[in-house]
C-alpha cells in the first residue's frame, strides 16, 4: 500500500510544483518507489520542472477516460530509477477528472509504489479538491506572506472536512507545513513573518523550511529538480524535508540570518 501525499497551498505561485518535484525526487533517491501526479488539468507544468516535457505522450485524463493504460502514461525519470511522473492533460475540459477515475488510478498505482505525490493545482476548485481527497498526508506549502498564510488556513479547513478520511471519520490527514521562499535577512529586519509566527497562526507541524534561493530558478530553467543540486541551500533543505517525512529527526537549517563580515562583503559570497 502506497502512502498518498498531497502537495497543496490554495494560493498559486508559492512553490507547489517545485516542492512536489523536489520531494518526489528526494523520496526516490532514498530508495522509495515514487510516482508524482500532476493534477493541474489544463495548465500542466510538473513535466517541465521534472524535465520530461518532450516525453509526454498520454496523460492522467487519457488514463481516466480509458484511452491509454497506466503504464503507457507513466514517464520514467531519466535520473532516478524509482521515480515516475504522471502528467496532467492540456485539455481545457474541467470535468475531465472524475472522483471515481482518480480513485481507480490511485488504487492501481498503490499496488506498485511506496509513495504517491499529488501535485495540486492552485485554488479550491474541483482539481484541488480531487488532489487532496484520497490523501493520507498533506504538505501545505506556504510563503511568509499574508495572502499565502490565509489561503493555507483555508486549505487546512478543507483537509479537515472535504476529504475521504474526514468523510469516513477515519484518522485525520497528517498535515505538514512547508515554508518556502524564506528570507532570514528580511525576517531579521522585521519585514517578513518569521517561521514561529507562521507555525503559531496555522498551528501545524513544520516539516521543512526552504530558503529563498537562486538555485530554485536555476533548477527549473534546466528541468532538474532542485534536490539534485546537493550543494545548494534549497537542495539541502528539501533533502532535510524528505528525511523528516520519512520520520527522521533532522535539525532545522537555513533559518537564521548570518550577518556578512566585512571581508565577505568586499569579496562577495560563495555560490548560494
Chain residues binding another protein by CB under 8 A are 145-146, 149-150, 153-154, 157, 160-161, 187, 189-194, 197, 201-202
Is 260 within 8 Å of 45 (Cβ atoms)?
A: no
CA distance 221 to 63: 29
143 versus 239: smaller Cβ distance to another protein: 143
Shortest distance (Å) from residue 174 CB to another protein: 19
Pairing relationship of beta strands 75-76 and 83-86 according to DSSP bridges: antiparallel
Shortest distance (Å) from residue 172 CB to another protein: 14
26 versus 211: smaller Cβ distance to another protein: 211
10 versus 127: smaller Cβ distance to another protein: 10
Shortest distance (Å) from residue 258 CB to another protein: 19
Shortest distance (Å) from residue 179 CB to another protein: 14
76 versus 154: smaller Cβ distance to another protein: 154
31 versus 157: smaller Cβ distance to another protein: 157
43 versus 203: smaller Cβ distance to another protein: 203
Exposure on the CB side of residue 166, measured as CA atoms within 13 A: 16
Shortest distance (Å) from residue 264 CB to another protein: 26
227 CB contacts (<8 Å, ≥6 apart)?
22, 23, 25, 26, 29, 235, 238, 239, 242
CA distance 23 to 243: 10
Shortest distance (Å) from residue 185 CB to another protein: 12
Q: Tell me the CA distances in angstroms from 23 to 18, 95, 116, one per residue in order.
A: 9, 28, 11
Looking at the DSSP bridge assignments, the partners of residue 139 are: 7, 176
Is 49 within 8 Å of 69 (Cβ atoms)?
A: no
CA distance 51 to 191: 35
Amino acid at each position: 500500500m502506497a502512502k498518498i501525499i498531497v502537495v497543496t497551498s490554495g494560493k498559486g505561485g508559492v512553490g507547489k510544483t517545485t516542492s512536489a518535484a523536489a520531494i518526489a525526487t528526494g523520496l526516490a533517491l532514498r530508495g522509495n518507489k515514487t510516482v508524482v501526479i500532476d493534477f493541474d488539468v489544463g495548465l500542466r507544468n510538473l513535466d517541465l520542472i521534472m524535465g520530461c516535457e518532450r516525453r509526454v505522450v498520454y496523460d492522467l485524463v487519457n488514463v481516466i477516460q480509458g484511452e491509454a493504460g497506466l503504464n503507457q502514461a507513466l514517464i520514467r525519470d531519466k535520473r532516478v530509477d524509482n521515480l515516475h511522473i504522471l502528467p496532467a492533460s492540456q485539455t481545457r475540459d474541467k470535468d475531465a477528472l472524475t472522483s471515481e477515475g482518480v480513485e481507480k488510478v490511485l488504487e492501481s498505482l498503490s499496488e506498485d509504489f511506496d509513495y504517491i505525490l499529488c501535485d495540486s493545482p492552485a485554488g479550491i476548485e474541483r482539481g484541488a479538491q480531487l488532489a487532496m481527497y484520497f490523501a493520507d498526508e498533506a504538505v501545505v506549502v506556504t510563503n511568509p506572506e499574508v495572502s499565502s498564510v490565509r489561503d493555507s488556513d483555508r486549505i487546512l479547513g478543507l483537509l479537515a472536512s472535504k476529504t475521504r478520511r474526514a468523510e469516513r471519520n477515519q484518522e485525520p490527514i497528517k498535515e505538514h507545513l512547508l515554508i518556502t521562499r524564506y528570507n532570514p535577512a528580511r525576517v531579521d529586519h522585521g519585514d517578513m513573518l518569521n517561521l514561529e509566527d507562521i507555525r503559531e497562526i496555522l498551528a501545524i507541524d513544520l516539516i521543512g523550511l526552504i530558503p529563498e534561493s537562486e538555485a530554485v530558478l536555476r533548477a527549473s530553467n534546466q528541468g532538474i529538480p532542485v534536490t539534485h543540486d546537493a550543494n545548494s541551500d534549497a537542495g539541502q533543505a528539501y533533502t532535510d524535508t524528505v528525511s523528516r517525512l520519512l520520520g527522521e529527526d533532522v535539525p532545522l537549517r537555513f533559518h537564521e540570518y548570518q550577518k556578512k563580515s566585512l571581508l565577505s562583503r568586499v569579496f562577495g559570497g560563495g555560490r548560494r
